Amino acid sequence: MNILADKVAIITGGASGIGRATALLFAQEGAAVAIMDIDDDQGQATIGEIEANGGKAIFIHGNVAQAVDCHNVVEKTVAAFGRLDILFNNAGIVRRANVVDTTEAEWDKVMAVNVKSIFLMSKYAIPYMEKAGGGSIINASSGWGLRGGPLAVSYCASKGAVTNLTRAMAIDLGSHNIRVNCVCPGDTDTPMLRDEARQLGQSEEAFMAAAAARPLQRYALPMEIAQAVLYLASDAASYITGSALVIDGGGSA
Judge whether 169 lies within some domain. yes
> Helix (H, G, I), strand (E, B), or coil: what is residue 78?
helix
Predicted local distance difference test score (pLDDT) of residue 241: 99
Judge whether 210 lies within some domain. no
- The pLDDT tens digits for 10-40 are 999 999 999 999 999 999 999 999 999 999 9
Predicted local distance difference test score (pLDDT) of residue 174: 98
Q: Which residues contact 172 (CB under 8 A, 6 or more apart)?
A: none
- The pLDDT tens digits for 157-168 are 999 999 999 999
* 202 vs 208: CA distance, rounded Å: 10
* 227 vs 183: CA distance, rounded Å: 11
Q: What is the DSSP letter of 188?
A: B
Mean pLDDT for all residues in the chain: 98
**Full-prediction pTM beyond 0.85?**
yes
Predicted local distance difference test score (pLDDT) of residue 25: 98
Q: Which residues are catalytic?
A: 155
- The pLDDT tens digits for 119-147 are 999 999 999 999 999 999 999 999 999 99
Predicted local distance difference test score (pLDDT) of residue 1: 73
| DSSP code string of 153-188 | HHHHHHHHHHHHHHHHHHHHHGGGTEEEEEEEE-SB
Predicted local distance difference test score (pLDDT) of residue 59: 98
Q: What is the CATH number of the domain that holds 99?
A: 3.40.50.720
β-partners of residue 33 are 9, 57
Confidence of residue 154 (pLDDT cuts 50, 70, 90): very high
Per cent of the chain over pLDDT 70 is: 100
Residue 115, domain extent: 8-188+221-247
Judge whether 129 lies within some domain. yes
Task: Give the phi and the psi of residue 199 in degrees, each rounded to 5.
Answer: -60, -35
| Cβ atoms of residues 96 and 200 within 8 Å | yes
Judge whether 208 lies within some domain. no
| Cβ atoms of residues 168 and 162 within 8 Å | no
* 158 vs 197: CA distance, rounded Å: 20
Task: Give the phi and the psi of residue 161 in degrees, each rounded to 5.
Answer: -65, -40
Judge whether 119 lies within some domain. yes
Judge whether 2 lies within some domain. no
Q: Which of 105, 97, 211 is nearest to 155 (CA)?
A: 97
Q: Which of 111, 195, 209 is nearest to 153 (CA)?
A: 111
- The pLDDT tens digits for 195-224 are 999 999 999 999 999 999 999 999 999 999
Domain count for the chain: 1
